[in-house]
């Protein structure tokens, strides 16, 4: 499954991109689609088949599953 991860800060996105690279998950830093946020931010788009609980940290704001040109919210941090 392909996911897009949104973060509270750009530095968290960069840190997460390095994290997934260490574990050989295919992914990249991307500018976030306007459909997902109105802010000018970076996120990480990556492929992952495990449980999302394995990768969730306090720096993650939201995670969307990507299905074609549609996005399904699958995780939102508690406020």
Q: 53 is in which domain, residue-wise?
A: 2-71
Domain count, the chain: 1
Residue 39 pLDDT > 80, yes or no? no
Residue 51 pLDDT > 90, yes or no? yes
Give the per-residue pLDDT at 41.
87
Q: Give me the residue label for tokens 């969307």.
A: 64
Task: Give the tens place of pLDDT for each residue, 4-28.
Answer: 999 999 999 999 999 999 989 999 9
Q: How far apart are CA 50 and CA 73, in angstroms?
A: 17
Residue 57 lies in a domain: yes
Identify the CATH number of the domain in which residue 6 sits.
3.30.70
**pLDDT averaged over the chain?**
92
Residue 33 pLDDT > 90, yes or no? no
Residue 68 pLDDT > 80, yes or no? yes
């Amino acid at each position: 499954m392909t996911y897009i991860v949104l973060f509270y800060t750009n530095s968290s996105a960069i840190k997460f991109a390095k994290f997934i690279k260490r574990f050989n998950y295919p992914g990249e830093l991307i500018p976030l689609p306007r459909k997902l946020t109105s802010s000018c931010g970076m996120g990480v788009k990556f492929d992952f088949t495990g449980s999302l609980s394995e990768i969730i940290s306090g720096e993650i704001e939201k995670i969307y599953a990507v299905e074609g040109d549609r996005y399904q919210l699958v995780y939102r941090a508690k406020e």
